[in-house]
């Protein structure tokens, strides 16, 4: 290869365009994603905080209520058969469980017709269940309402996008439409996430309460059967 050929190759290499380095797409943090949702993200955040608080607060209460003393009814039976009513009442108050409150009410009605005792026990049981289910309505409302708020963000985001497109006229750009859709999708995702979490939390707590209710029914039936037993 002669000198002229080498020089021509060098000039050709020099004249080749430089390839620009491909830029990596910018990452999007959770905070930035939340800000794109607009003001509708505020009620969603509030609902999510309330749902989390209610879940853990109720879970702690239900766990305490679910504690069961296997010897409780045997002790109550012995006290009643021995005529130690005060000791039986003291044991119920020391247990501090829904079923012990029911039994305590039943003991205070001893000597009355069995139907009156049963009604008193059932009334206390209903009150105890209502106490355990405190805040459940808020969880259910969050599970149903959060997705609706997200869908509202979808509608407002689309309205904003087409409004901006209409005002832009001939200068309309795809970014005007994409920004509105971006907001719409963000609120929808956030609403669905909050709603799904609240729904699972609600169903989980309901299942826990059902377990406590089963224990209460078992103890109350055992108590009534004990009162119907002949004295030895």
The predicted pLDDT at position 50 comes to: 93
- CA 33 from chain centre, in angstroms, equals 22
Q: Say how far apart CA 117 and CA 112 lie, in whole Å.
A: 7
pLDDT higher at 4 or 36: 36
Placement of tokens 């106490």 in the chain: 131
Residues 10-38 have a mean pLDDT of 50
Contact of 152 with 187, CB cutoff 8 Å:
yes
Residue 41's SS3 state is helix
At residue 114 the predicted structure's pLDDT band, cuts being 50, 70 and 90, is confident
Q: Which of 14-18, 78-82, 210-214 has the lowest mean pLDDT?
A: 14-18
Q: Cα separation of 160 and 186, whole Å?
A: 14
Query: Which pLDDT value is given to residue 56?
Result: 95
pTM as predicted: 0.76
Q: Is the pLDDT reported for residue 221 higher than 60?
A: yes
Contact in structure between 104 and 89 (CB atoms under 8 Å): yes
Report, as an integer, the average pLDDT of 118-138.
92
Query: At which residue do the structure tokens 């000039």 appear?
Result: 11
Mean pLDDT of 208-228: 89
């Amino acid at each position: 290869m002669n000198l002229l050929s080498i020089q021509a190759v060098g000039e050709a290499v020099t004249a080749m365009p430089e390839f620009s380095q491909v830029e990596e797409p910018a990452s999007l943090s959770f905070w930035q994603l939340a800000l794109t949702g607009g003001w509708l993200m505020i009620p969603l955040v509030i609902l999510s905080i309330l749902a989390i608080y209610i879940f853990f607060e109720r879970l702690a209460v239900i766990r305490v209520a679910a504690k069961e003393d296997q010897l409780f009814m045997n002790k109550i039976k012995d006290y009643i058969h021995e005529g130690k009513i005060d000791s039986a009442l003291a044991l119920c108050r020391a247990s501090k469980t829904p079923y012990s409150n029911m039994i305590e009410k039943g003991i205070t009605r001893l000597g009355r017709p069995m139907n009156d005792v049963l009604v008193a026990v059932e009334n206390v049981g209903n009150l105890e269940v209502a106490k355990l289910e405190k805040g459940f309505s808020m969880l259910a409302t969050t599970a149903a309402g959060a997705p609706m708020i997200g869908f509202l963000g979808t509608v407002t985001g689309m309205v904003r996008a087409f409004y901006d497109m209409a005002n832009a006229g001939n200068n309309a750009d795809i970014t005007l439409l994409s920004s509105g859709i971006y907001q719409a999708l963000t609120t929808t995702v956030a609403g669905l996430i909050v709603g799904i979490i609240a729904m699972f939390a609600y169903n989980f707590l309901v299942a826990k309460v059902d377990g406590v209710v089963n224990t209460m029914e078992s103890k109350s039936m055992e108590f009534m059967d004990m009162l119907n037993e002949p004295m030895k």
